[in-house]
Amino acid sequence: MGEKISNLKKILSTSNQIIAFTGAGFSAESGISTFRGAGGLWSKYDPSIYANINYFNQDPTYYWNFFKDERYPVIKKAKPNDGHYALVKLEKQGKLYRIITQNIDGLHQIAGSSDVIELHGNTRKIFCMSCDKTYSIDDIYKRLKYELPPRCSCGGVLKPGTVLFGEPLPQYALDMAMLAAQNCDMCLVLGSSLVVYPAASIPRIAQKKGAVLVIINIDPTPLDDIANLVIHESASKILSRLIG
Ligand SMILES: [Zn+2]
């Protein structure tokens, strides 16, 4: 492990256009449980009902009940962890120029990172499906006790700004992420199992374009074989040790 850490230190010191690619494992240490795997939310709630756009369009009350009972309390309580703050420092040092995240909790921005591309949207942003008017998560939560589904002043159904199954990723975010991947000199994958596509293609593109690919994730990933350095550890622990 010591050798890997000093390797990572070396790579960090010579890189000046770093992108960080963060996934569910990065937020897990902020108390936001992962969706997949044993004990994940999807083992309790069928995602084809609770997180699918076709089902949402048929009957959004399932989603909003799930949001009220499971998501809001967790999101409300979650605070950025040492890993989030280490990335803020890396940005202040002028080394990190962009974060690309699969997470929907907005914790990078709350920590103070300024350039965050959200591939799967942000659950703190709630918008009207008819007129795009936006609402705050706290205001809507209060209404959920007596209004299901919550509606906009125009009568349209409200939807959290997260990408549900069956929905495409926001094209603008995807384009920005691809561009960042093509122009970075280091891609730092943090707490992502790299199984959700097209998001997971971004580290691959970065490496193809000549960037050094470093993966820090507790479990093995499909890109471990091609990465320049792999550390199977908590990403926030490693980062805060190096940068914190
Ligand atoms: Zn509206």
pLDDT of res. 51: 84
Q: How far is the CA of 133 from the centre of ligand 1 (A)?
A: 5
Whether 199 contacts 120, CB under 8 Å: yes
Residues measured by CB to lie within 5 Å of ligand 1, the ion: 128, 130-131, 133, 152, 154, 156
User: Is 84 an active-site residue?
Assistant: no
Q: How far is the CA of 177 from the centre of ligand 1 (A)?
A: 29
* pLDDT level of residue 50 (50, 70, 90 thresholds): confident
Helix 2-14 and helix 235-242, axial crossing angle in degrees, nearest 10: 60
Element (H, E) at 65: helix 61-66
pLDDT of res. 108: 98
Q: How far is the CA of 164 from the centre of ligand 1 (A)?
A: 20
For residue range 149-190, what is the model confidence (pLDDT) as tens digits? 999 999 999 999 999 999 999 999 999 999 999 999 999 999
Q: Which of these ranges, 31-40, 135-144, 154-163, 177-186, has the smallest mean pLDDT?
A: 31-40
For residue range 190-212, what is the model confidence (pLDDT) as tens digits? 999 998 888 889 999 999 999 99
58: Cβ–Cβ under 8 A, 6 or more apart, which residues?
A: none
> What is the percent of the chain with per-residue pLDDT over 90, rounded to a whole number?
82
Whether 210 contacts 239, CB under 8 Å: no
What is d(CA 222, CA 15) in angstroms, rounded to the nearest whole number? 24
For residue range 79-105, what is the model confidence (pLDDT) as tens digits? 999 999 999 999 999 999 999 999 999
Backbone angles phi, psi at 20, to 5 degrees: -105, 135
Mean per-residue pLDDT over the chain, rounded: 92
For residue range 216-239, what is the model confidence (pLDDT) as tens digits? 999 999 999 999 999 999 999 999
Place of tokens 């920005």: 176
What is d(CA 137, CA 120) in angstroms, rounded to the nearest whole number? 17
Q: How far is the CA of 86 from the centre of ligand 1 (A)?
A: 39
The mean pLDDT of 57-84, rounded to a whole number, is 93
Q: Where are the alpha helices (DSSP H) in the chain?
A: 2-14, 24-28, 41-44, 47-50, 53-58, 61-66, 72-77, 82-92, 107-111, 137-143, 171-183, 201-208, 235-242
pLDDT of res. 37: 63
Q: How far is the CA of 71 from the centre of ligand 1 (A)?
A: 23
